[in-house]
Amino acid sequence: MRTGGEDRFGPGAYLQANKMIVSRTLVTLEMIEQTEEFPTLTIIRHPLVQHKLTILRDRQTPTKIFKELVDEIAMLMAYEATIDLTVEPLDVETPLETTVGRHISGKKLTLVPILRAGLGMVEGILRLVPAARVGHIGLYRDHDTLQPVDYYFKIPGDVAERDFFVLDPMLATGGSAAAAVGSLKRAGATRIRFLCLVAAPQGVQRLSEAHPDVQIYCAALDRGLNDQGYILPGLGDAGDRLFGTR
């Protein structure tokens, strides 16, 4: 006869435990999604990111809350986007003894927001990586050619030694994103990633075709664009909602 203790640790219990482990693993894998259509795209499905993004989309969300949510989502996304940074051993003195820890090695991180909406993503990431430098890229659309043109470009001087994170809440047509990455490459950058909150398939395709070496991170891949180039369902004009100019 089996006792309660034997049932608790018997074969059936181990099978159930394995099922629970598999189930938890599947949930973890779903937090990061990659698609066959866009190999350079990573969609971050973390529950906190998706919860905050839903509030962000709501047209009733006020400017103050909208700004805080952009900041928080950017920080959570940066946690995933920095997952493959290399580390090296470092001796450290605790109050009790010497031990070996790890610290990020070699590469220097630079955040490059595309003005103006990209500014809303900077502070959240800086709280995660306070030693990062910040550059800026300003773009406008030429009325005759309809192509993006730089009106401001400022980044740290040691470009070849740096990892660059280009920041813009929206990846819509992809024109500004592709132009910003192109400007960084002309300045000598070789390691570039693009972080946005919401992307349209047209923007992802344009950026990935122009720069197939650039990894794209987003919190949502939306349906598409309307006739004015806004993402659907999207979240409206991120710049206007960030700075209260809507």
Q: Which residues are catalytic?
A: 141, 145, 237, 240
What is the DSSP secondary-structure string of 13-42?
Answer: HHHHHHHHHHHHHHHHHHTEEE-SS-TTEE
Buried b (16+ CB within 10 A) or exposed e, 70-93: bbbbbbbbbebbbeeeeeeeeeee
Buried b (16+ CB within 10 A) or exposed e, 27-64: eeeeeeeeeeebebbbbbebeebeebbeebbeeebeee
Helix (H, G, I), strand (E, B) or coil at 153: strand
Helix (H, G, I), strand (E, B) or coil at 189: coil
Neighbouring CB atoms inside 10 A of 234's CB total 21
Residue 162's nearest CA partner among 190, 141, 136 is 190
Cα distances (angstroms) measured from residue 199 to each of 159, 173, 217: 27, 9, 9
Task: Measure the CA angle with vertex 75, ends 105 and 112; round to 5°.
Answer: 70
Distance (Å, rounded) from C-alpha 198 to C-alpha 215?
15
